[in-house]
Amino acid sequence: MIIGLTGSIASGKSTVSAMLKRKGFPIVDADEIARQVVEPGSPVLTEISQAFGQGVLQADGSLNREKLGELIFNDKEKRLQLNGIIHPAIRKEMLRQKEEWLARGARTVIMDIPLLFESKLQSLVDKIIVVSVTPEVQKERLIARNVLSEEEADARIQSQMPVKEKEKEADAVLYNNHAVEQTEEQLERLLLEWEMKS
């Protein structure tokens, strides 16, 4: 079974992903792959610098994420352009890793994809788990984690599909507003219910 794990920014999806990893489930991590595909010298990074200028590169040739983030956060067209460069490369590597896990005999593979719905990747998975928080908790955690102003936090939250919309599309929702133990209890119940085995 291929499980899609998603949420919204600062919802705690990474926490749930870490729980699943500790339980022995293979994780295909889209964020990790996103970092790999833009390593210095990669064809994807070359394409990004051609599209957005040398200013998006650090002196050592690595990606200047902050600079790129500033360029795309409030510009939908540029964001779509960047996604058009990065997403196909990420998708290809995610599928390669998934196939590798299956070939090794994994019965369940977790595809940890933050923008699963935004990138329309539902077809890659059999079932979807959404990690959800209330908007208040989300904003509070995001400000604390990334040291942002309220305006900056709002802009980042609004750049994604609302978590309530994601909940409607999910096969299961894990509510992560309280202690991490409560989230883990919900996950345990779900693993039993779906008979997921690592």
pLDDT of residue 158 exceeding 90, the answer is no
Q: What is the pLDDT of residue 169?
A: 95
pLDDT of residue 159 exceeding 90, the answer is no
Do 5 and 22 fall within a single domain?
yes
Banded pLDDT at 118 (limits 50, 70, 90):
confident
Among 10-14, 86-90, 155-159, 164-168, which is the least confidently predicted range?
Answer: 155-159
d(CA 113, CA 7): 8
Do 22 and 110 fall within a single domain?
yes
Q: Is residue 88 part of a domain?
A: yes
Do 66 and 17 fall within a single domain?
no
Q: Is residue 101 part of a domain?
A: no
Q: Which residues pair with 2 in a beta bridge?
A: 109
Do 117 and 185 fall within a single domain?
yes
- Residue 148, domain CATH: 3.40.50.300
Do 133 and 193 fall within a single domain?
yes
Q: What is the pLDDT of residue 1?
A: 94
Tokens of 40: 């210095």
- Of 36, 2, 15, nearest in space to 177 by CA: 15
- Residues annotated within a binding site: 10-15
Do 47 and 132 fall within a single domain?
no
Do 22 and 72 fall within a single domain?
no
Last residue of a domain, one of 96, 114, 135: 96
Q: Is residue 137 part of a domain?
A: yes
Banded pLDDT at 196 (limits 50, 70, 90):
confident
d(CA 91, CA 140): 31
pLDDT of residue 160 exceeding 90, the answer is no
Average pLDDT over residues 19-45: 95
Last residue of a domain, one of 71, 96, 121: 96
Instruction: Domain count for the chain, please give it.
Output: 2
Average pLDDT over residues 148-174: 92
pLDDT of residue 30 exceeding 80, the answer is yes
pLDDT of residue 11 exceeding 80, the answer is yes
- Residues annotated within a binding site for ATP: 10-15
Do 47 and 60 fall within a single domain?
yes
Q: What is the pLDDT of residue 13?
A: 95
- Domain interval for residue 16: 1-26+106-198
Percent of the chain at pLDDT exceeding 70: 100
Q: What is the pLDDT of residue 81?
A: 95
Q: Is residue 14 part of a domain?
A: yes
Average pLDDT over residues 137-160: 90
DSSP-assigned letter for residue 63: B
Predicted TM-score of the model (pTM): 0.86
pLDDT of residue 198 exceeding 90, the answer is no
Do 127 and 188 fall within a single domain?
yes
Among 104-108, 149-153, 182-186, which is the least confidently predicted range?
Answer: 149-153
Q: Is residue 54 part of a domain?
A: yes
Query: Which residues neighbour 76 within 8 Å (Cβ) at sequence distance 6 or greater?
Result: none
Q: Is residue 60 part of a domain?
A: yes
Q: Is residue 153 part of a domain?
A: yes
Do 66 and 119 fall within a single domain?
no
Do 184 and 117 fall within a single domain?
yes
Do 157 and 92 fall within a single domain?
no
The size of the chain, in residues, is 198
- Of 8, 13, 11, nearest in space to 27 by CA: 13
Last residue of a domain, one of 74, 96, 118: 96
d(CA 5, CA 18): 11
